[in-house]
Amino acid sequence: MAADKVIDGYTITSDTTDTATNYDDDTSVAQDVTFVYRDTQAPTVTTTKTELVSSKDGLPADEAAFLSAVGYATTDNQQYGDSTVSTDYDSVMNDVKADGKAREVTITVKDATGNTTTKTVMLTVVDTAPVSQEADVQTAQKNLDDLVSDPNASDADVATAKEALEQAIQDAQT
């Protein structure tokens, strides 16, 4: 049998700590069997938000704040070793701040074996310049940004707050 060959139709589930299990039905020919623990199951990654909408000033300050704001969670089957999470939030945030265009932030989770799962969250900003000092704009901006840090803010509430801010900006400019 070829090394590491997967046998179609077979799934071995083992909960044993035996060190001397005998798989040899022919005592005249020794059979050496090596068990290799190989986790092939990638982690799960979930977020409560698929899009994070914010004013430029209301963007989460760092990766940890971003992950909290989008309700990030992960699970994995592996009992030995922890999964690690990384994102490109910092660079994406800087790009979005620079030109105001929405971009995807990619969240990557890698388990201890190296299996990875990614999930993206759209990062969308509303630029309040050049009317950011107008009272109505500031009020609408605060209403939107208060929802940024709430991972359970509903899409409908965020959409309403975004539209209200865009309207306040438009009104201030005319």
**Footprint on this chain of Ca ion (rule: CB under 5 A):** 39, 41, 76-78, 111
**For Ca ion, the closer CB: 39 or 166:** 39
Minimum gap (Å) between residue 112 Cβ and Ca ion: 7
**For Ca ion, the closer CB: 76 or 145:** 76
Q: Distance between CA atoms of 106 and 91, rounded to whole angstroms?
A: 11
Residue 148 burial class via C-beta count within 10 angstroms: exposed 0-12, middle 13-18, buried 19 and up: buried
**For Ca ion, the closer CB: 31 or 41:** 41
* Cβ-based neighbours of 128, under 8 Å, separated by 6 or more: 55, 56, 57, 137, 141, 165, 169
Minimum gap (Å) between residue 152 Cβ and Ca ion: 28
Minimum gap (Å) between residue 50 Cβ and Ca ion: 24
Minimum gap (Å) between residue 108 Cβ and Ca ion: 14
**For Ca ion, the closer CB: 115 or 141:** 115
Beta bridge partners of 126: 55
**For Ca ion, the closer CB: 82 or 104:** 82
Minimum gap (Å) between residue 9 Cβ and Ca ion: 23
> Nearest 5°: CA angle at 74, between 73 and 76?
160
Q: Distance between CA atoms of 48 and 153, rounded to whole angstroms?
A: 9
Q: Distance between CA atoms of 52 and 72, rounded to whole angstroms?
A: 12
Coil, strand or helix at 63: helix
Residue closest to Ca ion when measured from CB atoms:
111
